[in-house]
Amino acid sequence: MTYAIQQMELTQSVEALLSANGLPVSDLQDGTRVILFGYMAERRLCGVVGLEICGQVALLRSLAVSIKERGSGLGPALVSYAERYAARRGIETIYLLTTTAATFFERHGYSHASRKDAPAAIAGTSQFSDLCPSSSAFMVKPVAC
């Protein structure tokens, strides 16, 4: 299936979907520059993903898919869309933190990395330094240009 994914603003629907999936929203509200992409069907938000650009690296974050859409391929489509967006902007590497989806991201080309090897720009994000527990899997993927 092809999804018409588009850039989105932070809305109550986005916040609700992220919160329902146990993902933080507090730093999205404080002006952090996170670009959100989402897919809507029948005026309902089905999935969202965020990309926090930090120079030539980025943090993939806030991936959430509604229960009704899980297993449909929307999650991989959102990740792929964010990766292509990053590539067009000259991002060299994408990082992420996850407590629940390491296997999903491994299937999509991400590999585990040590948090101590995180670039300063990534380590300085609130997602890395405050919001995600130290037990989170830290993962990385080079961006194909």
CATH of the domain at 93: 3.40.630.30
Residue 1 lies in a domain: no
50 part of a folded domain: yes
Cα 12 off chain centre by: 18
CA distance 119 to 117: 6
Q: Say if 36 falls within a structural domain.
A: yes
> How many folded domains does the chain comprise?
1
Contact 108, 69 (CB under 8 A): no
pLDDT in tens, 8-53: 999 999 999 999 998 888 878 765 689 999 999 989 999 999 999 9
Q: Is residue 37 part of a domain?
A: yes
Q: Does 99 fall in a domain?
A: yes
Domain hosting residue 89, numbered range = 6-142
- Considering the domain boundaries, does residue 65 fall inside one? yes
Whether 131 is in a domain gets the answer: yes
pLDDT tens, residue by residue, 83-126: 999 999 999 999 999 988 999 999 999 999 999 999 989 988 87
Taking a C-beta distance cutoff of 8 angstroms, is the pair 96, 110 a contact?
A: yes
